[in-house]
Each structure stands twice: as structure tokens, then as C-alpha cells.
Amino acid sequence: MSGRPASRLPLLDTEVFLEREQHKSHLAFTFEVEPGTAYLCLHFDYQPARVGSLRNLLTLSLSDPERPRGSLHRHHSGNPQVSWIGPTASPGWMPGTLPPGRWTLWIDAHAVLEPAKVQVRVDAEERAGQEPPPVAGRPQSELGARKLWKPAGWWVGELHCHSNHSDGQWTPEQIAASAAQEGLDFVALTDHNTKSGGSAWPAWGPLRLSGLELTTFYGHALVLGETWPDWREGIPFAQLSEAAEQQGDLVVMAHPAAEGDPVCTGCRWVHPDCLPGPLKLIEVWNGPWSDRNEQALQLWHRWLDQGFALAITAGSDAHSASTWRSGQIGRTVIASPSLEPSALLRSLKRGQAYLSCGPHLSAAVREGGAGTADLEVTVQGEKGEDSWMLRLVQSKGEQSREAPIGSSRQRIERRWGEWVTIELRGPHGVLALSNAIWPWGSPLRSS
């Protein structure tokens, strides 16, 4: 066949049955796209979607002969999913021309709690069945402005959020409007296994860091930068992360203490070669401050004791604006000479950042001799009526004292540990958190 296809040309039509034993597995199907094909229409359905109070979770991913084209990663509504990809595309798919050749469609079986019947059909089409609605100007943010204390040379942003390009309930434009209202300098849009939301990010929005949440069966990771790893080929995760880092990108272990299977399949971090292995960053503040964040904080401390110089991040993991309204949402505040993606990522990897839901926290260290050091800690913010406590944490002990606004000198002793972190806490948990400080020299190892 040559030229444009007929109005509809079937390329793939399959029905498969997945058993419980195929939980956490992949099924690959290939089909040929002819030159001149304008659009692909994909029909996807599986039943049952719900299994009691839990859910089966099956997703579609697509690659053309040259590169990944995205994923439909969202819970089943109960109705068949119909989507298009071509010069314009449904959320989740990367828009653009369709190169001829062999394409691959993946069914990713994240959770098969009960046997499932799966139906997939792909047709070549002359036009999209439904054009995306045009964006009518700048959407109104639902959020009020928040006070974020940020001295010159520091940039504050969001490193983990989801739009309607995966399982979020708001658009990239709505995220941009809310971020601008809050005064954020940058946002990493990290949809599940796709970067398609970047094509909908508005020019008037804050800086967008390219990223995605690599959603594997044994843990989720934020990949910040241009890398788009293929996690389905049986490559050890440590190897994937090292390859991304060689490109100047970052891989962040996301919500490592999250509830795992079967409630949130794959959400808890269990990759055996990355505990922490070569990983350089860990998200210890996910969403509003919680007991699971306390667990992630303790995990980070244990790895610091082992000499792993992991840097920390915060991310709301917001799927709608309601998360950003919910209180103690941590932001990542980065010291960088410029608001430029590569500069921000370099500083983040070096630990030149702190986490905060409002107050500014910084520290300078001076060795005091005889196994002691002095920390010059600076706290800025509006206390209101709540009391703030400054907590210095080392591997063998901690000190807590009321936190003064402004600068104060805090004495630490080497006999209590090689590293120290600074926590600013209020009645409901952490308000700000420093990266690890090594007053007496470098850690034993950094990977």
C-alpha cells in the first residue's frame, strides 16, 4: 500500500486473557505503519476493572521505530478507552508525524488481582476522531498566593506532579497557572511513563523541567532531564539510572516508604540493586508531611550512616489542585547561579538545596577543633502563633531547641556522628529540612 490509507485500516486487533500469574509482566505486540499514515486510533478495554475494594491496573505504552510515544497510565473508568495519536494526540501520547515501519504496543500488567479479559485494537485513520479542545487563554488558578521565603540566588519549585496526561485531574495549563500564582520558579511535570504533557505547557508558565515518573513494578522513580529509559527490557535498574546520569540527568527514588501491593501496586521502593545502589537522590517529602515521610527520613538517615551521600528532594505528587491546598506541601529550594535546567539539576545532585513549605533555612559550618564544629543556622519566616523547634540530627543523637528567627550558632560534636541534618519542625511535622552536612570531610562513598 502507498499514499494515505483508507478512512480506516485495521493494523492490530487482539484479545488476550491475563491470569493472576501474569501480575507484573509485559505483553508486546507489533504492527506495521505505512508511509503517509496520518493518525492511529487505539481502542483499549479490560474487565474486571475493580476487584472488591482494589483494582486491576493495566496500561498501554507505545513506541514508534525511533522513540517512545508515551503511555495511557490511568485507572480504568469502566468504559473502553479510545485515543488518537498523530499531529495532534490524546493526553498521554506524544504528538507528531507517524514514521513508517514497525511499531510496538505494550500491555503493562501492573496488577492482575483477578483474571482479566483485555481487548486492544489499532486502526490507521485519515483524521483524529476528536480534536483536543483549544486552550482559551490563561486559566484562572484555584489557589491563593503563599509566602515563600527565598533569598537571591535560590529558586523554588515543584519536582513531582501529575496532569491529565496520566492519572491527574488537571491540565498542564492549570498546573502552570497555579504554580505562577504560588510564585514557583520551576515545575517538573512527571506524568507516569510519558512526557506528552510537555507539549501542552504554556509559554507564559514557569520554567518546565523535562521529566517523567518511571512507573515500574518494583518502585517509582522521577527521571529529571531528557532521558526516557526503557524499563521493560530486563535491564537492572542500577544500569538504567547510571545511563541517565551519564547524560547529565537525575534519577530520584520516589516515595520509598509508600504503601505497596496490592493497594498501590509498585509504589513502594524494592529494587534490590538500588537500596540505594548508585542512586544519588531520594524523595523524603511526598505530599503533605506524614508518617510515611517520617519513614523515608529514617531510611535516608540509615543510608547516610552507611556512607551514601544521597541528596533529598520534595514533591507534592499532586494529581489535582486540592493537594496544593492541603497544607504542609514541601517544595525543593535550589541554590543555583541561574534558572536554567542543567544548572538546577547540577546543584540538586550536589545537595545544594533544602526542602520547605515556607520558611527559609540555611547553614554555614566552621570546624571548632577537638572534634567539634559550629553551625551558623539561619531561619526566616512568619511563625504566627505556632512554636517552631530547631532539631539537629546526627547518627548517634539529636538536639532539639526552640528555633529563633534570624541566625544562631549551634555546637555539634563529632562523637555523635559524621553528618548532621537540620530540621525545622512545627506542631504538625517538618516545616523545613536541610541536606546532609559533613563538617569533618567527605562521606565514605557517594554511590
Q: Give buried/exposed letters for 98-111 (b at 16+ CB in 10 A, else e).
A: beeeebbbbbbbbb
What value does the mean pLDDT take over residues 361-388? 84
Domain ranges of the chain: 8-125, 154-434
Neighbour count for residue 292 (Cβ, 10 Å): 16
**Cell 511499531 sits on residue:** 103
Neighbour count for residue 405 (Cβ, 10 Å): 13
Pairing type for strands 154-161 and 186-189 reads: parallel
Neighbour count for residue 133 (Cβ, 10 Å): 7
Matching CATH number, 8-125, of 3.40.50.300, 2.60.120.380, 3.40.1280.10, 1.10.10.10: 2.60.120.380
Q: Which comes out higher in pLDDT, residue 4 or 282?
A: 282
Spatial CB neighbours of 172, under 8 Å, sequence gap ≥ 6: 163, 165, 189, 197, 198, 200, 201, 202, 205
Q: What is the pTM of this model?
A: 0.93
pLDDT for the residue numbered 134: 47
Residue 442 sits at the vertex; the CA angle it makes with 429 and 160, to the nearest 5 degrees, is: 40
Q: Which comes out higher in pLDDT, residue 61 or 401?
A: 61
Looking at the predicted structure, is the pLDDT value of residue 242 above 60? Answer: yes
Tell me the pLDDT band of 4, cut-offs 50, 70 and 90. Answer: very low
pLDDT for the residue numbered 400: 79
Q: Which comes out higher in pLDDT, residue 338 or 381?
A: 338
d(CA 336, CA 98): 39
Q: How many CA atoms lie within 13 A of 309 on its CB side?
A: 14
Strand partners, 318: 161
Tell me the pLDDT band of 151, cut-offs 50, 70 and 90. Answer: confident
Average pLDDT, the chain: 91
pLDDT for the residue numbered 8: 86
d(CA 22, CA 115): 9
pLDDT for the residue numbered 346: 96
pLDDT for the residue numbered 144: 52
Residue 66 sits at the vertex; the CA angle it makes with 62 and 68, to the nearest 5 degrees, is: 30
d(CA 190, CA 196): 10
d(CA 436, CA 340): 24
307 within 8 A of 445, measured Cβ to Cβ: yes
Q: How many CA atoms lie within 13 A of 392 on its CB side?
A: 25
364 within 8 A of 325, measured Cβ to Cβ: no
CA 328 → CA 48, 114, 192, 359, 369, distances in Å? 37, 38, 24, 11, 38
d(CA 87, CA 190): 22
The three-state secondary structure class of 240 is helix
Q: Which of 245, 248, 256, 308 is nearest to 282 (CA)?
A: 256
Tell me the pLDDT band of 234, cut-offs 50, 70 and 90. Answer: confident
pLDDT for the residue numbered 384: 65
Q: What is the percent of the chain where pLDDT is above 90?
A: 77
What value does the mean pLDDT take over residues 366-376? 86
Tell me the per-residue pLDDT of 75-120, one tens digit each, with 9 for 90 and over.
888 889 999 999 999 999 999 999 999 999 999 999 999 999 999 9
Least confident of 336-340, 354-358, 385-389: 385-389
Helix, strand, coil distribution of the chain in percent, nearest 5: 15, 40, 45
What value does the mean pLDDT take over residues 163-174? 96
Tell me the pLDDT band of 129, cut-offs 50, 70 and 90. Answer: low
Cell (9 digits) for 360: 527559609
Q: Domain 154-434 carries which CATH code?
A: 3.20.20.140
Strand partners, 57: 111
Looking at the predicted structure, is the pLDDT value of residue 311 above 80? Answer: yes
Could you list the beta-strand ranges (E) of 112-260.
116-125, 154-161, 186-189, 207-209, 211-216, 219-224, 250-253
d(CA 284, CA 275): 14
User: What does the chain come to in residues?
Assistant: 447
pLDDT for the residue numbered 137: 52
d(CA 225, CA 424): 30
Tell me the pLDDT band of 304, cut-offs 50, 70 and 90. Answer: very high
What value does the mean pLDDT take over residues 45-67? 96
